[in-house]
């Protein structure tokens, strides 16, 4: 037992004592009481409605299958399950349950094999008990009796098949229990094994059942070895020394047409003590074996293996597997089995998508609602988190009306239906603790938190102890025996657990967030604000491409960071009190709830038809070019579209490779790199239907990919560097491949014969590749040693002696590594190198250089501005998307001596988004500017819908979205969008206040206007309006920002406040002064990125000055 385990056991013993002292209960009594308490929060009518809908759907599926002369074994299985336990409007009927299970078993449904055995356990419960909810004891006479010996034989056969064909965890567990506890089971199982061995020896090779026998025998070999492991010695991974003969049997079964043999091979190899790779950095070799054989099993017809593959790839392969592929694998499994864990996998993957074509709250909720009433596959060890996530959706109001009672129901349902706790118990406890449920009993919250400790699970107990520490420390609950001095024990447990989880790489975003909070307030860790800030920033990274539970904690982290930033301001209390008043008026308990609620408000304006409206013409243009006069850019973009299956295209990897290859042959510099995505690897779990070519091993894959990467780098593609660095982190095979090429190049360059027989150009390339690979091989933790830098430079100098044009590019790559910083990812030294190699073959670097100078700012030099525009224009004409995006902003801002052209901006910006494929090119900045342009300048009939759509995309992808939130809030305020209530505008404005203090003055101004509008009686509140106007005036006049865009906006609205007397005394003279200051900003904005905002407000200020002048003349 390691130190972590010893500490957990110690914590467990302390918890036992706490439970006994506080509640005078034993462990078992306490556990039973917690379950009974949870039942108080159930709402049976919700469950019954979902069950009845599922029952009706099963019946319809069976009827449809019969009428089509097909079968639907899973519908039979699920309906049998509902009859077995009397769910929904069905009464318990074991005969009907047995009938439906038998129908499913006829088509080899492994879970039905287990459940038919459980029917007889339900009639005569045995020592091990039944793991499902048992509504009542059913009389023996209600089902046909079976002779005990025949029943035993039937059970063993069915359980072995369930385990061997579906890795059914309950079947394996029951077999093990009975084998170790009951002599008749031991003898019978040993007899079956001997029988299988005899059948293999005597069976003819053409016997169609021989494959199944091999599979069953392989399982029994592993099973009997596992039975030798003493309970409690397995640890988290249950590593066992499985016999080689079992693997031989599994592979033989697979070869004979039993695909579950490959699945078993993957599973048991993954947990074989001799196969588990403890030494390799990155993805372990045993996980690659698992991925390869789960994939092979799935491709050959073992449907549950798609889910096994999904789990391995999602957990162990992380970012190396695309979400598209993960979703495809889960959906493949769903075609055959609609188990709860597969349904949840689909829902969870959809939740992490930012793609408009996939993401949908309503779709997620449908999957989750089906999952909570579906049976688990028991082929995975996944907890039933669908209850947690569905409860969370109701708690936060995502895709549904916010309803804490319904949220509590799903959290409680989780507690009452499974033996292991999830975060659902903590979410329910927190609702009670925060008085969000009526009635509430604080002892229920305490008991729910405490119940998690009985499981000895760090990931859950760490959070529960954090909450208990807060409750004990508050001193509010002394009357129930919760003394403040016990807080230290709970905080100590929390910090130890969270630090352990972080060190082991198992920490979730929630753990990182709470550890940050403990550092911020000094709970059993040093109160270091800098450490807290660092951890909060780590948490922010989880907002993008994560599910909404992770995003929730990223939002909380952002709120904490903003709180740290403003807590030292003199007006901190006034601002906080006003925000609390707004939250109270909105009937929202916390800022995090508000921000999650605004996620839902905004999400409904993200519309697929808007996305298609601007994408389709661009795709039509590409197809027209293909049929008329295609160029390299045409082939490049079509290749990407066919690979990614965008909108009008299906996945066609062969066609994608054909077009990318044509683009490459026409010297399109980005095409070679993009070919990488068309190569897959079986050891990475890549399905050949999604790729152009599949390699067998990771080693072979690394060699193929590295060859492409070096070609791409030699074509001056900057994406090569981060790609190879990421691959070196993840795959040991890449380290081997890089080391091999380095060794080969060194040998070649040390051989006089080789040097004599090699052309100067190829010798230069050898030196450049060698330097490049040494550079990335030795880059460790954002650092590269001076010795390595010197060695690399020497190699580049040797390449330069052969007059290589690429030396400057590779030197620039070296400087990008050496000079790396989070603030500016590309250094001036690197840019200088890239400028020296600009020619017709390197036009894709133009946008990099132009972007650098645009971000650094310009001195207004006409020649310099013209060069930036010319570089971007040439890059755009060749189809480089990054350049197109930057060029669009020049047209919108009117920079670089170009007149403002809004229509051209929209055209180019939408083309950029439609043809953005690469994650390293971030064009999300265009969302806000498109939304702003459609709202303020466009005259198309659906301009508000388009503006709202781009606002929704921007807010969904980042937390630095204060200005975009203000824009969509203004559309809601002005009734430009369909909304149930103008209260939505209030919510979105207030959410922006929590995210960006640079906009505080403007937001308070808008809230003041809304709250003082008598036409909006629903939200009219003159007291709040006055406070908002005071805060607006304070922020706008005291802000020390150097951002001219913010200054210009505030000056204009100060003019409005004085002109119309909003919250202050009306004064036309002062209004004119502010308008004139706003107008003056236009003179100094010619080279500011995003200066179209200044042009917009300056134009409005000029109109107001004209109006004032006309009114003055009129009065004369």
pLDDT in tens, 76-104: 999 999 999 999 999 999 999 999 999 99
Say how far residue 165 (Cα) sits from the centre of its chain. 31
The whole-number pLDDT of residue 920 equals 55
How many whole angstroms separate alpha carbon 601 and alpha carbon 597? 6
What the block records as the tokens of 833 is: 């190198």
Of 1041, 1024, 1043, the residue nearest 1089 (C-alpha): 1043
Tokens 């009845």: give the residue.
52
Residue 682 DSSP one-character state? G
**Nearest alpha carbon to residue 11 among 393, 462, 391:** 462
- Please determine, for residue 420, whether its predicted confidence score (pLDDT) is greater than 90: no
Higher pLDDT, 429 or 853: 429
Q: 575-587, pLDDT tens digit by residue?
A: 889 999 999 999 9
Cα angle vertex 809, ends 805, 810, to 5°? 105
Lowest mean pLDDT among 21-25, 170-174, 725-729: 21-25
Distances in Å between the Cα of 849 and the Cα atoms of 228, 845, 856 are 66, 6, 11
Q: Are 1034 and 1068 in contact (CB under 8 A)?
A: no
Distance CA 370, CA 86 (A): 17
Confidence of residue 233 (pLDDT cuts 50, 70, 90): very low
pLDDT at 651: 79
Q: Given a cut of 90, is residue 900 above it in pLDDT?
A: yes
Q: Beta-carbon neighbour count of residue 313 at 10 Å?
A: 25
pLDDT in tens, 59-71: 999 999 999 999 9
Compute the chain's Rg from CA coordinates: 33
- Please give the residue that has the higher pLDDT: either 320 or 774: 774
pLDDT over 60 (residue 242): yes
What is the rounded CA–CA span in Å between residue 352 and residue 346? 10
In the chain, the percentage of residues whose pLDDT exceeds 70 is: 91
483 Cβ contact list (under 8 Å, min separation 6): 472
Nearest to 689 by CA among 981, 328, 181: 328
Residue 526: per-residue pLDDT: 67
Spell out the alpha helix ranges (H) of 43-139. 44-67, 73-85, 94-105, 110-123
d(CA 958, CA 627): 39
Please name the residue that has the structure tokens 């909003």. 1062
Give per-residue pLDDT as tens, 996-1029.
778 999 999 999 999 999 888 889 999 999 999 9
The number of beta carbons lying within 10 Å of the beta carbon of residue 380 is 18
Mean pLDDT of 682-702: 92
Question: Structure tokens of 122?
Answer: 């339900």
pLDDT-derived band at 139, boundaries 50, 70, 90: very low
Structure tokens at 869: 């525009």
Q: Mean pLDDT throughout 567-574?
A: 75
What pLDDT, on a 0 to 100 scale, did the predictor assign at position 26? 84
Which of 598, 599, 605 shows the shortest CA–CA distance to 977?
605
Quote the pLDDT of residue 127.
38
Give yes or no for a cis peptide into 655 (omega within 30° of 0): no
Mean pLDDT value across residues 517-544: 83
What average pLDDT score do residues 126-139 get?
44
pLDDT at 649 over 70: no
Full DSSP string of 496-528:
HHHHHHHHTT---HHHHHHHHHHHHHTSSS---
What φ, ψ does residue 680 adopt, rounded to 5°? -120, 180
Per-residue pLDDT reduced to its tens digit, 17-33: 777 778 888 888 888 89
Where does the pLDDT of residue 1043 fall: very low under 50, low under 70, confident under 90, or very high at 90 and above? confident
- Residues in the chain, total: 1116
pLDDT digits (tens, 9 = 90+) for 311-322: 999 988 877 888
- SS3 of 385, please? coil
Which residues, in sequence order, are CB contacts of 978 under 8 Å at separation 6+?
none
Pick the more confident residue, 538 or 919: 538
pLDDT of residue 131: 42
Question: With b meaning 16 or more CB within 10 Å and e meaning fewer, what string describes 564-593?
Answer: eeeeeeeeeeebeebbeebbeebebeebbb
Distance CA 66, CA 79 (A): 15
Residue 565 confidence (pLDDT): 79
**Integer Cα distance of 61 and 76 in angstroms:** 9
In this predicted structure, which of 192-196, 547-551, 633-637 has the lowest mean pLDDT? 547-551
- Report which secondary-structure segment, H or E, holds 710: helix 698-714
Nearest alpha carbon to residue 719 among 748, 778, 676: 676
pLDDT score of 36 = 92
d(CA 267, CA 319): 22
State the Cα–Cα distance between residues 539 and 558, nearest whole angstrom: 8
Return all residues near 133 (Cβ < 8 A) that are at least 6 apart: 85, 416, 417
pLDDT at 500: 84
Grade residue 1037 by pLDDT with cuts at 50, 70 and 90: very high
Q: Could you tell me how far CA 276 lies from the centroid of its own chain? A: 28
Q: What is the DSSP letter of 272?
A: B
Q: What percent of the chain has pLDDT over 90?
A: 59
Phi, psi (rounded to 5 degrees) for 463: -70, -40
Rounded to whole angstroms, the Cα distance separating 1010 from 1070 reads 24
pLDDT at 878: 82
Average pLDDT on 734-743 reads 95
With contact defined as beta carbons under 8 Å apart, do 596 and 398 qualify?
A: yes
Q: Span 891-920, mean pLDDT? A: 88
Q: How many CB atoms lie within 10 A of CB 978?
A: 11
Regarding predicted confidence, which is higher, 564 or 634?
634
Element (H, E) at 694: strand 693-695
8 A C-beta contact, residue 702 and residue 689: no
Neighbouring residues of 881: CB distance < 8 A, sequence distance ≥ 6: 912, 915, 916, 917, 918, 921, 923
Structure confidence at residue 919 as a pLDDT band (50, 70, 90)? low
With bands split at pLDDT 50, 70 and 90, how would you rate the model's confidence at 927?
very high
- Two tokens, residue 586: 């909105």
State the DSSP string of 185-209: HHHHHHHHHHHHHHHHHHS-TT-TT
Contacts of 517 by beta carbon, 8 Å cutoff, 6+ apart:
532, 560
CB 390 within 8 A of CB 369: yes
Residues 6+ apart with CB under 8 A from 507: 498, 501, 515
Cα–Cα distance measured from residue 136 to residue 139, given in angstroms and rounded to the nearest whole number = 10
pLDDT tens for each residue of 1075-1112 = 999 999 998 887 888 999 999 999 999 999 999 988 87
Q: Among 453, 470, 566, 565, which residue's Cα sits nearest to residue 514? A: 470
In 431-455, which positions are buried (b, 16+ CB within 10 angstroms) versus exposed (e)? bbbeebbeeeebbbbbbbbbbbbbb
Q: Is the pLDDT of residue 857 over 80?
A: no
To the nearest 10°, report the CA torsion of 578, 584, 590, 593.
-120
pLDDT tens, residue by residue, 354-409: 666 666 888 999 999 999 999 999 998 888 899 999 999 999 999 999 999 999 99
- In this prediction, residues 526-533 reach a mean pLDDT of 81
DSSP state of 840: T
The number of beta carbons lying within 10 Å of the beta carbon of residue 719 is: 19
Q: Mean of the pLDDT values across residues 150-177?
A: 95
Q: Do residues 86 and 70 make contact, with C-beta atoms less than 8 angstroms apart?
A: no
Q: Does the pLDDT of residue 226 top 50, yes or no?
A: yes
C-alpha distances (whole Å) from 19 to each of 30, 448, 455, 625, 682 are: 8, 12, 14, 74, 51
For the residues 963-978, what does the mean pLDDT come to?
Answer: 94
pLDDT at 421: 60
């Amino acid at each position: 037992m390691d130190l972590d385990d010893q500490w957990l056991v110690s914590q467990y013993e302390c918890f036992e004592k706490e439970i006994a002292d506080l509640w005078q209960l034993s462990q078992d009594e306490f556990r039973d009481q917690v379950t009974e308490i949870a039942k108080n929060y159930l709402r049976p009518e919700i469950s019954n409605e979902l069950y009845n809908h599922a029952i009706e759907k099963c019946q319809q599926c069976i009827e449809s299958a019969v009428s089509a002369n097909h079968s639907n074994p899973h519908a039979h299985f699920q309906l049998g399950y509902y009859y077995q336990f009397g769910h929904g409007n069905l009464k318990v009927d074991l005969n009907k349950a047995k009938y439906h299970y038998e129908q499913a078993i006829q088509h080899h449904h492994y879970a039905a094999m287990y459940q038919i055995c459980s029917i007889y356990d339900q009639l005569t419960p045995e020592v091990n008990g039944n793991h499902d909810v048992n509504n009542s004891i059913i009389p023996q006479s209600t089902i046909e009796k079976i002779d005990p010996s025949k029943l035993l034989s039937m059970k063993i056969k069915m359980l072995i098949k369930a385990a061997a064909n579906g890795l059914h965890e309950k079947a394996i567990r029951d077999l093990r229990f009975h084998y170790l506890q009951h002599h008749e089971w031991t003898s019978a199982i040993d007899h079956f094994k001997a029988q299988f061995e005899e059948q293999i020896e005597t069976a003819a090779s053409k016997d169609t059942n021989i494959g199944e026998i091999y599979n069953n025998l392989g399982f029994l070999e592993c099973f009997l070895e596992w039975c030798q492991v003493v309970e409690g010695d397995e640890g988290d991974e249950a590593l066992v020394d499985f016999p080689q003969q079992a693997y031989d049997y599994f592979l033989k079964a697979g070869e004979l047409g039993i695909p579950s043999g490959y699945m078993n091979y993957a599973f048991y190899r993954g947990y074989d003590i001799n196969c588990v790779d403890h030494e390799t950095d990155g993805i372990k070799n045993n996980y690659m074996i698992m991925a390869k054989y789960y994939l092979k099993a799935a491709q050959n017809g073992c449907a549950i293996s798609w889910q096994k593959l999904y789990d391995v790839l999602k957990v162990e392969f992380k970012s190396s597997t695309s979400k598209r592929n993960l979703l495809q694998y889960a959906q493949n499994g769903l075609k055959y089995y609609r188990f709860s864990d597969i349904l949840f996998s689909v829902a969870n993957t959809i939740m992490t998508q930012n793609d408009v074509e996939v993401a949908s709250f309503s779709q997620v909720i449908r999957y989750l609602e089906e999952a909570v009433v579906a049976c688990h596959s028991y082929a995975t060890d996944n907890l039933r988190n669908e209850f947690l996530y569905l409860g969370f959706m109701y708690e936060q109001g995502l895709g549904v009306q916010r309803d804490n009672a319904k949220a509590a129901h799903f959290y409680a349902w989780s507690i009452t239906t499974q033996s292991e706790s999830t975060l659902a118990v903590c979410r329910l406890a927190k609702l009670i603790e925060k008085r969000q449920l009526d009635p509430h009993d604080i002892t229920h919250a305490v008991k729910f938190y405490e119940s998690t400790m009985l499981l000895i699970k760090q990931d859950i107990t760490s959070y529960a102890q954090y909450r208990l520490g807060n409750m004990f420390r508050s001193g509010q609950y002394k009357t129930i025996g919760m003394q403040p001095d016990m807080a230290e024990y709970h905080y100590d447990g929390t910090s130890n657990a969270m630090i352990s989880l972080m060190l082991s790489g198992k920490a979730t975003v929630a753990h990182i967030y709470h550890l940050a909070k403990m550092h911020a307030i000094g709970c059993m860790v040093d109160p270091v604000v800098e450490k807290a800030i660092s951890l909060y920033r780590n948490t922010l990274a989880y907002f993008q491409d994560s599910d909404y539970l992770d995003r929730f904690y990223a939002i909380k982290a952002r709120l904490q960071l903003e709180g740290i930033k403003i807590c030292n301001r003199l007006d901190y209390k006034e601002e906080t009190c006003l925000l609390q008043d707004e939250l109270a008026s909105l009937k929202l308990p916390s800022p995090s709830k508000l921000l999650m609620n605004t996620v839902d408000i905004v999400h409904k304006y993200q519309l697929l038809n808007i996305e298609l409206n601007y994408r389709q013409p661009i795709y039509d243009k590409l197809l027209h070019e293909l049929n008329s006069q295609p160029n390299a850019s045409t082939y490049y973009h079509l290749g990407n579209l066919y690979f990614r299956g965008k909108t009008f295209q299906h996945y066609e990897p062969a066609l994608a490779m054909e077009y990318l290859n044509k683009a490459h042959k026409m010297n399109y510099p980005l095409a070679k790199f993009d070919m990488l995505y068309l190569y897959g690897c079986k050891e990475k779990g890549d399905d050949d239907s999604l790729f152009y070519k599949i390699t067998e091993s990771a080693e072979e894959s690394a060699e193929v990919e590295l060859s492409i990467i070096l070609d791409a780098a030699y074509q001056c593609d900057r994406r090569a560097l981060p790609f190879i660095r990421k691959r070196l982190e993840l795959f040991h095979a890449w380290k081997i491949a890089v080391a091999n090429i380095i060794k080969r190049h060194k040998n070649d360059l040390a051989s006089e014969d080789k040097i004599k027989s090699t052309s100067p150009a190829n010798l230069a390339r050898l030196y450049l590749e060698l330097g490049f690979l040494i550079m990335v091989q030795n880059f460790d933790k954002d650092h590269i040693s001076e010795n390595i830098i010197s060695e690399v430079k020497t190699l580049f100098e040797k390449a330069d002696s052969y007059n290589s044009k690429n030396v400057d590019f590779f030197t620039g790559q070296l400087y990008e590594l050496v000079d790396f910083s989070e603030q500016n990812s590309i250094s001036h030294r690197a840019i200088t190198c890239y400028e020296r190699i600009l020619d017709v073959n390197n036009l894709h670097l133009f946008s990099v250089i132009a972007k650098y100078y645009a971000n650094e700012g310009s001195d207004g030099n006409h020649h310099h501005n013209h060069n930036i525009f010319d570089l971007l224009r040439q890059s755009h004409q060749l189809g480089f998307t990054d350049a197109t995006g930057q060029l669009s902003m020049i047209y919108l801002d009117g920079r670089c001596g170009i007149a403002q052209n809004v229509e051209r901006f929209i055209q180019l910006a939408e083309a950029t988004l439609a043809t953005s494929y690469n994650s390293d090119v971030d064009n999300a900045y265009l969302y806000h500017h498109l939304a702003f342009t459609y709202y303020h300048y466009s005259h198309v009939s659906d301009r508000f819908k388009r503006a709202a759509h781009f606002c929704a995309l921007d807010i969904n992808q980042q937390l630095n979205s204060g200005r975009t939130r203000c824009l969509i809030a203004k559309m809601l305020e002005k009734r430009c969008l369909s909304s149930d209530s103008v209260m939505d505008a209030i919510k979105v404005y207030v959410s922006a206040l929590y995210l960006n203090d640079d906009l505080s003055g403007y937001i308070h101004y808008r809230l003041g206007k809304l709250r003082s509008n008598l036409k909006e009686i629903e939200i009219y509140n003159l007291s709040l309006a006055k406070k908002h106007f005071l805060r607006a005036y304070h922020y706008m006049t005291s802000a020390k920002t150097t951002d001219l865009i913010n200054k210009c906006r505030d000056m204009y609205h100060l003019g409005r406040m004085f002109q119309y007397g909003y919250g202050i005394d009306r004064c036309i003279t002062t209004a004119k002064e502010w308008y004139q200051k706003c107008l003056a900003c236009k003179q100094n904005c010619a080279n500011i990125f995003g200066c179209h905002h200044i042009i917009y407000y300056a134009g409005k200020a000029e109109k107001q000055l004209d109006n004032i002048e006309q009114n003055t003349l009129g009065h004369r």
